[in-house]
Amino acid sequence: MSNAPIGVFDSGVGGISVLNELRRTLPHEDFIYYADSGYCPYGGRPQSEILARASTITEFLLAQHAKLIVVACNTATIAAVEYLRATYPTPFIGMEPAIKPAIAQTRSGVIGVLATGAALAGERFHRLLAQHSAGHVRIITQPCPGLVEQVEAGDLDGPATSALVEHYTRPVVAAGADTLVLGCTHYPFLRPVIGAVVGPEIHLLDTGAAVARQTRRVLEREGLLTSAKTAGSVAWHTSGDPAQLTMIVELLAHDQRDG
pLDDT in tens, 239-256: 999 999 999 999 998 743
Which residue in 13, 184, 194, 248 is the catalytic one? 184
Per-residue pLDDT band for 108 (boundaries 50, 70, 90) equals: very high
ω into 97 cis (within 30 of 0): no
Q: Provide mean pLDDT across the span 25-32.
A: 98
Annotation says 40 is catalytic: no
pLDDT at res. 85: 98
Q: Provide mean pLDDT across the span 21-38.
A: 97
The residues facing 31 across adjacent strands are: 6, 234
Per-residue pLDDT band for 84 (boundaries 50, 70, 90) equals: very high
Q: Compute CA distances 47 → 9, 36, 117, whole Å.
A: 17, 15, 11
- For helices 16-25 and 242-252, the axis angle rounded to 10 degrees is 50
Q: Provide mean pLDDT across the span 98-115.
A: 93
pLDDT at res. 76: 95
Per-residue pLDDT band for 134 (boundaries 50, 70, 90) equals: low
Beta strands in 16-158 (DSSP E): 31-35, 68-71, 92-93, 110-115, 138-143
Q: With a cut of 60, say whether residue 22 has pLDDT above it.
A: yes
Annotation says 73 is catalytic: yes
Q: With a cut of 60, say whether residue 33 has pLDDT above it.
A: yes
Average pLDDT, the chain: 93
Task: Record the pTM.
Answer: 0.92
Which residue in 73, 93, 151, 252 is the catalytic one? 73
Q: Report the C-alpha gap between 73 and 239 in whole angstroms.
A: 16
Pick the CATH number of 99-205 from 3.40.50.1860, 2.40.50.140, 3.50.50.60, 3.40.50.1010: 3.40.50.1860
Q: Compute CA distances 237 → 6, 13, 37, whole Å.
A: 13, 11, 10
Pick the CATH number of 6-95+208-258 from 3.40.50.10800, 3.90.1300.10, 3.30.300.20, 3.40.50.1860: 3.40.50.1860
Per-residue pLDDT band for 133 (boundaries 50, 70, 90) equals: low
Q: With a cut of 60, say whether residue 258 has pLDDT above it.
A: no
pLDDT in tens, 205-220: 999 999 999 999 999 9
Q: Report the C-alpha gap between 143 and 254 in whole angstroms.
A: 28
Where in the chain is CATH 3.40.50.1860? 6-95+208-258, 99-205
* CA torsion angle 53 112 185 230 (round to 10): -140
pLDDT in tens, 152-199: 999 999 999 999 999 999 999 999 999 999 999 999 999 999 999 999
